[in-house]
Amino acid sequence: MNPMRSNYVRHVASAVGIAAVLAAATGLGTAAAAPSQDAGATANFIALNGTTTEVQADSVRYCSTVGFGIPLSSGQELAFDEVQSIDVLAADDRFEPNGTASLQIKLVDGDLLQDSMPANCDLFGQNEIGRFSTSLQDLQRLEFTRPAEMSER
């Protein structure tokens, strides 16, 4: 093999390996990296005006770099697969420095949490039409329905 081509192949292989490690570390890999507990589940975004948009639960994200949950002001990272619903009680203006949204969170085990989170990024998910995105300022509630709950309807 040509020595210059050999160096090129090594650099490309190294770059691909680094990209794979970064994707795995940040949770920005494929949908297969999503928590399997929410496979087949749905999430409903309910806007302040009452409009409801359904997405695949395992596609719900907050910001593009956070992963599969939300960062709470208490320091806890809360995974979406532990959440039954999130009610937005109040939200600072989206562009307010260090703005927050006050939340009431119902966990899948029935426990209720009161906490807050940064209010300067979108929540989003995928459905059959494409990507859906909303701000905390426009959201009243996010609720998850998992397969066991779907069969009880």
| pTM (2 d.p.) | 0.72
The pLDDT tens digits of the residues spanning 96-151 come to: 999 999 999 999 999 999 999 999 999 999 999 999 999 999 999 999 999 876 54
The pLDDT tens digits of the residues spanning 41-89 come to: 999 999 999 999 999 999 999 987 667 899 999 999 999 999 999 999 9
Query: What is the three-class DSSP state of 138?
Result: helix
Which pLDDT score, from 0 to 100, does residue 38 have? 62
Environment class of residue 128 by beta-carbon count within 10 Å: exposed (0-12), middle (13-18) or buried (19+)? exposed
Which pLDDT score, from 0 to 100, does residue 14 have? 41
Listing DSSP states for 43-110 in one string gives EEEEETTS-EEEEEGGG-EETTTS-SEEE-TTS-EEEGGGEEEEEEEEE--TTSTT-EEEEEEEETTS
Which pLDDT score, from 0 to 100, does residue 25 have? 41
